[in-house]
Structure 1
Amino acid sequence: MVQRVLDIVLSGTALLLLAVLLIPVAVVLRFTGEGEVFFAQNRVGRGGKPFKLLKFATMLKDSPNMGTGTVTLRDDPRVLPVGRFLRKTKINELPQLINILKGDMSLIGPRPQTQRCFDAFPSRSQKTIVTVRPGLSGLGSIVFRGEEDMMHAAKDPNRVYDELIMPYKGLLEEWYVQNQSVFAYLALIALTVWVVARPRSGLVWKVFPDLPSPPEEIAREVNWPSVSLVA
């Protein structure tokens, strides 16, 4: 209940304060690219029920049926020119403040996935994740801030995504669900802002030192401190 009240107050305030940014972005998108302002996509929500997640349009309309589908790589040719900036700064995610006000989402929680990506989670993670509202940001989003770069460098991006990224991301989201608190909620909001400015920061590991350890193959990519110390 406390988190829901904070969601309403903080997202409502953010929409009012950010209107001076959101309105110009909407105008620019309307007159560039394919003329689309918003992109609504089915995502898996609380209880496993689908909902329409809102974003600013940053990719070609038919992008889910092109290339790597709902998985996006760095320098993905489906991303529109203005969209690159919006994605890098995460401004493209801000329309989800409306989803939060509606109750589809929370400011913090497991990131809502398309059905294809949700199915890549281990079944135990799936069952845990759907017990809470998905989030605008969360542990998985913060730890995997460089996910697109990681997959861009891989010879087989889909294998890396399905066999390395999603199983570990599932463990992180499980950890959050099992350790929810007002402290975790507020700390993850602050960390979200921090990693936008410092994407290679490993601060999350200091704030939450008991997070599950990453697989060896991706430890360096998620800035795990033990790797940094060895290096």
Structure 2
Amino acid sequence: MAKRLMDLLFAVAGLVLFAPLMLGIAIAIKLDSPGPVFFRQERVGRGGRPFRIHKFRTMGESAERQGPQITLGTSDARVTRVGRWIRSRRFDELPQLIDVLKGDMSVVGPRPEVPRYVAMYSAEARAKVLSVRPGITDPAALAFRNEGELLAAAADPEREYVEVVMPVKLQHAMAYAERATVWTDLRLIARTLNVLITG
């Protein structure tokens, strides 16, 4: 109950505080390339329930048909000019405050994956990670904040993600799910804001 209340407070405050920035980003996206402002994709939420995540669109409209479901950072050829700027500052994640308000996500929690990758989880990982709401930020997101660049440098980015990155992210997610509290969430929010501010 305390976590949900904190989520609602942060989501409302964030949407109010960042409203001018989000409006400016929306206008820039529409002026830069054809297509919708938001990118919506099916992810797996708490209890295995699917939901559609909100992000600012940073790629061309047909990007999902032109490459893998992972993104190779700002060097990905599918990323638009404005999209590179948005991604470099992590502003593409701001619309997920809407998902927090809806109850599909939390401010802090394991990053939600697409069904394809969740199907690769072990039974133990699935039970633990999907026992909590997915979040906008978590320890894995901080540890792999340069994930796109890491994958772009790999000979086979998708294999690198599945065999190297995803197992480590799952360990972070399982550890978080086991010992998450309001206080650990507040510390993670503070760390995330520090990363956003200092780069």
TM-score scaled by structure 1?
0.82
Segments of structure 1 that go 5 or more residues without pairing to the other structure are 200-231
For residues 153 and 110 of structure 1, the distance between their equivalents in structure 2, rounded to whole angstroms, comes to 25
For residues 132 and 153 of structure 1, the distance between their equivalents in structure 2, rounded to whole angstroms, comes to 32
Mapping 1:207-226, distance limit 5 Å: none
Is the contact between residue 122 and residue 170 of structure 1 (CA under 8 Å) also seen in structure 2? no
- The answer for the alignment partner of 1:228 in structure 2 is none
For residues 120 and 198 of structure 2, the distance between their equivalents in structure 1, rounded to whole angstroms, comes to 28
**Residue correspondences, number:** 198
2:176 is equivalent to residue 190 of structure 1: no
Which sits farther off after the overlay, 189-198 or 158-167?
A: 189-198
Q: How far did residue 118 of structure 1 move? A: 2.3
- The answer for the alignment partner of 1:16 in structure 2 is 16
For residues 73 and 29 of structure 1, the distance between their equivalents in structure 2, rounded to whole angstroms, comes to 20
For residues 25 and 164 of structure 1, the distance between their equivalents in structure 2, rounded to whole angstroms, comes to 33
- The answer for the alignment partner of 1:31 in structure 2 is 31
Larger Rg computed on CA atoms:
1
Mapping 1:1-231, distance limit 5 Å: 1-67=1-67, 69-74=68-73, 75-199=75-199
**Secondary structure of the structure 2 residue equivalent to 1:155:** coil
Question: Structure 1 residues 28 and 147, CA, compared in 2 at 3 Å: closer, same or farther?
Answer: same
Q: Which has the higher contact order (CA 8 A, sep 6+)?
A: 2
**Secondary structure of the structure 2 residue equivalent to 1:31:** helix
CA-based RMSD: 1.3
Q: How far did residue 117 of structure 1 move? A: 2.7
For residues 126 and 63 of structure 2, the distance between their equivalents in structure 1, rounded to whole angstroms, comes to 26
The amino acid of 1:65's aligned partner reads R
Q: How far did residue 153 of structure 1 move? A: 1.2
Is the contact between residue 35 and residue 60 of structure 2 (CA under 8 Å) also seen in structure 1? no
Is the contact between residue 120 and residue 167 of structure 1 (CA under 8 Å) also seen in structure 2? no
* Per-residue Cα deviation, 1:67-110 (whole angstroms, up to 9, x for no partner): 2x211113000011100111111111101101100100000000
Segments of structure 2 that go 5 or more residues without pairing to the other structure are none
TM-score scaled by structure 2?
0.95
For residues 21 and 198 of structure 2, the distance between their equivalents in structure 1, rounded to whole angstroms, comes to 21
Paired-residue identity, %: 39
* Per-residue Cα deviation, 1:145-197 (whole angstroms, up to 9, x for no partner): 11111111111212211111111110100000001111110011011112224
Which sits farther off after the overlay, 132-141 or 112-121?
A: 112-121
Q: How far did residue 122 of structure 1 move? A: 3.4
**Secondary structure of the structure 1 residue equivalent to 2:86:** helix
Which sits farther off after the overlay, 144-153 or 170-179?
A: 144-153
Is the contact between residue 35 and residue 61 of structure 2 (CA under 8 Å) also seen in structure 1? no
